[in-house]
Amino acid sequence: MRIIVTGGAGYVGSIVTAKLVEQGARVVVYDNLQFGHREAVHPDALFVEGDLANTEKLETLFALHGFDAVMHFAANTLPGESMEKPFLYLRDNVTNALNLLQSAARYGARKIVLSSTANLFDRPEKIPISEDEKIAPGSPYGESKHLIERMLHWMDRTMGMRYACLRYFNAAGAMPGGDRGEDHKPEYHLIPIVMQVALGQRSHVEVFGADYPTPDGTCVRDYIHVLDLAQAHILALEALDSRSRVYNLGNGRGFSVLQVIETAREVTGHPIPALIGPRRPGDPAVLIASSDRIRRELGWKPRYPGLRDIIETAWSWHRTHPHGYETSQPGRDQRSAGRPTQRAANMRFPSWMTIAETAAKQGRDDRTGVGFGNQG
């Protein structure tokens, strides 16, 4: 199967790409490196640096490779930032997804897996959150994912494009071998921040509120190991022959902020100072997603459900990559599409590429007139 993975140089996308390659898929990663890292891409996947806003380049890729399926991870993904910059999310996330869907429809890619979000549920009535919960996005980010889900619904109705939407809260952990892990700059996620304190890169962890109606007073959140998340994406793709699907993903139970910190102290052997601060506006006490449907329908079962499993793999990654991947990311307001990264003569192409594909990648595609000489 030929698959394009958008955002495949990012945290979750790169690990899904690695697992797809291991299963024999022919993968093209399309990423503008705004948040991703070239080093995170599996060497047997073809990497193309580009932006989903560049419709000409996108069309060329679909025409050249004849993709069977799409895995869509590329997006702006910070709920808090989306409250400050709503148009960045409502414009870029939605418009870029539409560009992707148009190319997929035009060139016959009839399967798409969307990395969605449990931020679709701002104030759920029931915990754990099931797929039947009323959708009420908690931010412009959540709204952008909801709009993409609705677009996919109509692509199915009108064109027979099968889709799977996977909604989850907090991906965490790293590949056990330490090859790939979480590296954001700046970092906003709890477990990597705790790891940075253990490494001496931060003085302490700030805990936002300790007076919630939870056992220890701190917020409870759902964490899912990134490898379990990757398995869910691949199972969902394999199930699209029959019908479209929507799944919420979680590990079945939540962990409090203090539980995360205490487990990290045990795993790392470092004291990890924590200071209690005021609540953040809008933080619910408990958010946990139910995964009953995907367990029942696809047989998905987390291999790393325990908090210690998650933190041990995260610590292994951060200890061996204290400053993340070798390259640094561009600033958040920079776009890297079109920036030269490596000369064509020095490129390494996957063994599955045909001679025609390799020639087009090194120079230009004669069918479209679009050059690829500045791709890494």
Q: Which residue, among 307, 122, 162, has the nearest Cα to 224 in the 3D structure? A: 307
Nearest 5°: CA angle at 231, between 226 and 236? 125
**Active-site residue list:** 141
**Under a CB-based contact definition with an 8 Å cutoff, are residues 16 and 237 in contact?**
no
Q: How do residues 231-278 score in pLDDT, each as one tens digit?
A: 999 999 999 999 999 999 998 789 999 999 999 999 999 999 999 999
Per-residue pLDDT at 182:
97
Q: How do residues 101-138 score in pLDDT, each as one tens digit?
A: 999 999 999 999 999 999 999 999 999 999 999 999 99
Tokens of 74: 């590329």
Cβ contacts of 43 within 8 Å, gap of 6 or more: 348
- Euclidean distance between CA atoms 201 and 239, whole angstroms: 43
The class level of CATH for 2-320 reads alpha beta
- Written as one letter, the residue type at 235 is L
Per-residue pLDDT at 326:
74
Res. 375: pLDDT tops 60: no
**Under a CB-based contact definition with an 8 Å cutoff, are residues 72 and 12 in contact?**
no
Q: In what order do the strands lie in the sheet with 69-72?
A: 46-49, 26-31, 2-6, 69-72, 111-115, 162-167, 245-248
Per-residue pLDDT at 282:
82
What is the distance between the terminal CA atoms of the chain, rounded to a whole angstrom? 23
Per-residue pLDDT at 359:
53
- Euclidean distance between CA atoms 246 and 353, whole angstroms: 33
Q: How do residues 19-59 score in pLDDT, each as one tens digit?
A: 999 999 999 999 999 999 999 999 999 999 999 999 999 99
